[in-house]
Structure 1
Amino acid sequence: MTDGVLRRRPDGAAEAFLPTHTVQSHAANLALLPDGSLGCVWFGGTQEGMADIGIWFSRLPAGGDRFTDPVPLSDDPHRSEQNPVLFVAPDGELWLLHTAQHAGDQDTAVVRVRRSATSGREWTPTEDLISSDEGGVFVRQPPVVLPSGRWLLPTFTCRRVGDRPWTGDHDISSVRCASSWQETLVPESTGLVHMNITPRIGGYVAYFRSRWADHVYRSVCGEDGVSWQPPRPTELPNNNSSIQAVKLDDGRTVMALNASSRRTATARRVSLYDEIDDNGIVEGAGPQVLPVDDTGERTAFWGAPRAPLILAVSHDDGVTWPVRHSLANGDGYALSNNSRDGRNRELSYPSILPDGGGGLHIAFTHHRKAIRYLHLPTVPS
């Protein structure tokens, strides 16, 4: 099945499962490349957090019907390389941004970069781009180019408190301006990550994944791109998993997300990365309310269902989302990062991109076994 071949469906959509050379494949990101092809990157290896996790790249040639055999774009033997993002700069140079961390310690992550002047056929050597003394710096969404020409990169910082291991409870979002990458924090964004910036009249809107697994959050900003209002919950659910939104030429905003939250969880992980050890996987059940630590602070909720995957449509810059369209369904449990034993069943981490003709390119994680691609000829209205 993972042959990369586009197959037409009765509903008019096209679907492919990208080729893979690894046990696990996760966190796809799409971009239209300067040569007209569709580029897709993701991370793959045996298991998230392991040092053999690296970045992979495949393309769908313009007018083609098959994704190319993927090639590796990173190979750090000591760090897990994750969350790749493709970005075509205004001068046509293709950038690959990704993270690199020690094992499951997201508070050790740095952001790295490679560049290509040949639409991904040849790349510059890998460089460290952003790090922080406050914790690990992560990316998930592409930079935004302001009218001034300045680039704005959304990031989040994974912070630990005292001697406690990282859990996600204190992660915080920010924006960083090239080329100094000076950071501006988003106020009241603790627990809100994967900041996804879209344009609006007079400024910008951003959407956030919630560590609390309750709702997608939303914030607005003026034209400067840095003066963000405190994020507030939307009507859309969130399961502490990734989302992605884009603004269409007709003014609508479309978002791909999981229609689930902690309220629909039936079991949850003991912790995110405790399971990565020499003894295998540790799983357990837990309460379906947002837990608190011994200080009384709320803690991140892990293990809410990562299915179904839907497309939501807004006509008012994300204030309301009256249109919901199913993209993929399944049982959606994600109690583990383990792929070797089939303990992931998730339809998650979507990336969406307008095709320039009224349709959408969509890529997402299919049970961590493959990256699944959909092409919708039209956007549901």
Structure 2
Amino acid sequence: MKLIMERCPTDMCHASTLLKTGPDRFLVAWFGGTKEGNGDVAIWITRGNEEYFDAPQILAQSDEAHWNPVLFRINESKIILFYKVGNEISKWRTMYRISEDNGETFGEEKELVQEDQGGRGPVRNKPVRLENGRILAPGSTEQGIWKAFVDRSDDDGVSWNKSEEVEIRQLEYKAGERTVEKDDSAIPVSEQSFYGRGVIQPTLWESAPGQVHMLLRSTEGKIYRSDSGDNGDTWTDAYATELPNNNSGIDMVPSEDGKLFLVYNPVGINWGERTPISLAVSGDNGQTWKKIRDLSTGEGEFAYPAIIQDEDFLYITYTYKRKNIAFWKIKK
């Protein structure tokens, strides 16, 4: 494991996204500022290799909070960077910038879906391209009952159509109710995050043509799952898996041999500690899981992972105590 910065240029950094742009060449982006949700929080980006990353630079900033960058490759040279803008999570907007030179520069900021409030496109984890060419972006909204969905694009990201929503049925939530008192949690999230209940921030994979699945962060102490048999148009109700979840971000990636690799905090308490952070594998399409190793342990926050794979290796980034971004290269 290495830390990508000698010193973080902001008081905190969080929610990294990772993309391989060439042999031993990577893009990493995250949000950082004085405190999550503050108006000075910007999108930061760096380029580098397994041994050294350039000094981070601001890619997007205004007088509103920025959140959750997501990198996705459209083709050999074109990359999209999505991110959220807005001081209220329930009303944030999805913005994007396009790179036409494999991530060396990014163009002007545009809004993904005009006049949207609540967030379209990928909310935190990377989109996937299906066998039929469709792109699915894993989305969610946080308005009372938290719900997930996918945004579907059949024209390489030019336009997007929202699927039906995925939720835990019969889940009760009273407006304005906290799922945990802020003083009871050591996690330095925006106070508004403690309101609402349900599932958010899906991570996606396709197991066979048209057969798509998502794992979901939840407030219920478990990672939840939903399945689609029609390329992401319709989905089952969310149902609990065997995997614990602390209401923190997860990410997974399928490999060419059919295995699934998941990075998560194996803590089954709502707003529980974000340590350790671990890597697990499934050989049966996510029905059962086996832990491979802990990536970081001990005091502090190790959270919000991003995982990709290329050839024989997995590449992983995650928040390291909100003071840096950890980077791993692991042989599959």
TM (norm. structure 2) is: 0.84
Q: Which residue of 2 aligns with 1:369?
A: 323
Q: Which residue of 2 aligns with 1:149?
A: 133
Q: Which residue of 2 aligns with 1:71?
A: 57
Q: CA deviation at 1:218?
A: 1.3
Match of 1:261 among 268, 273, 290: 268
Indicate conservation of the 8 Å contact 2:46/2:57, yes or no: yes
Q: Which residue of 2 aligns with 1:208?
A: 216
Q: CA deviation at 1:119?
A: 2.3
Aligned equivalents of 1:261, 1:209: Cα separation in 2: 11
1:249 partner letter: E
The structure-2 alpha-carbon separation of the partners of 1:33 and 1:223, relative to structure 1 and needing over 3 Å to count, comes to farther
Secondary structure of 2:163 counterpart = strand
Q: Which residue of 2 aligns with 1:100?
A: 85
> Do structure 1's residue 84 and structure 2's residue 84 form an aligned pair?
no
Secondary structure of 2:108 counterpart = coil
> Do structure 1's residue 182 and structure 2's residue 161 form an aligned pair?
yes
Segments of 4+ moved more than 4 angstroms = 131-134
Indicate conservation of the 8 Å contact 2:91/2:117, yes or no: no
> Do structure 1's residue 327 and structure 2's residue 310 form an aligned pair?
no
Q: Which residue of 2 aligns with 1:316?
A: 284
1:153-164 counterparts in 2 under 5 A?
153-159=137-143
2:218 partner letter: S
Aligned equivalents of 1:238, 1:130: Cα separation in 2: 31
> Do structure 1's residue 124 and structure 2's residue 138 form an aligned pair?
no
Secondary structure of 1:51 counterpart = coil
> Do structure 1's residue 173 and structure 2's residue 163 form an aligned pair?
no
Structure 2 regions of 5+ residues with no counterpart? 169-196
1:172 partner letter: K
Deviations 1:94-118 (A, max 9, x none): 100000112xx21120000000112
Q: CA deviation at 1:204?
A: 1.6
Structure (1/2) with the larger strand percentage: 2
Larger Rg: 1
The structure-2 alpha-carbon separation of the partners of 1:242 and 1:215, relative to structure 1 and needing over 3 Å to count, comes to same
Indicate conservation of the 8 Å contact 2:278/2:291, yes or no: no
Q: CA deviation at 1:134?
A: 6.4
Q: CA deviation at 1:248?
A: 0.9
> Do structure 1's residue 44 and structure 2's residue 27 form an aligned pair?
no
- Mean CA deviation greater in 360-369 or 197-206: 197-206
Percent of residue pairs identical: 30
Aligned equivalents of 2:70, 2:91: Cα separation in 1: 19
Aligned equivalents of 2:201, 2:78: Cα separation in 1: 24
Indicate conservation of the 8 Å contact 2:146/2:167, yes or no: no
Aligned length, in residue pairs: 297
Q: CA deviation at 1:347?
A: 0.5
- Mean CA deviation greater in 223-232 or 362-371: 223-232
Q: CA deviation at 1:363?
A: 0.7
Pairwise CA RMSD:
2.0
Q: CA deviation at 1:316?
A: 0.6
Q: CA deviation at 1:170?
A: 1.3
Indicate conservation of the 8 Å contact 1:114/1:127, yes or no: yes
Secondary structure of 1:318 counterpart = coil
Structure 1 regions of 5+ residues with no counterpart? 1-13, 160-168, 263-300, 332-344
Aligned equivalents of 1:36, 1:177: Cα separation in 2: 31
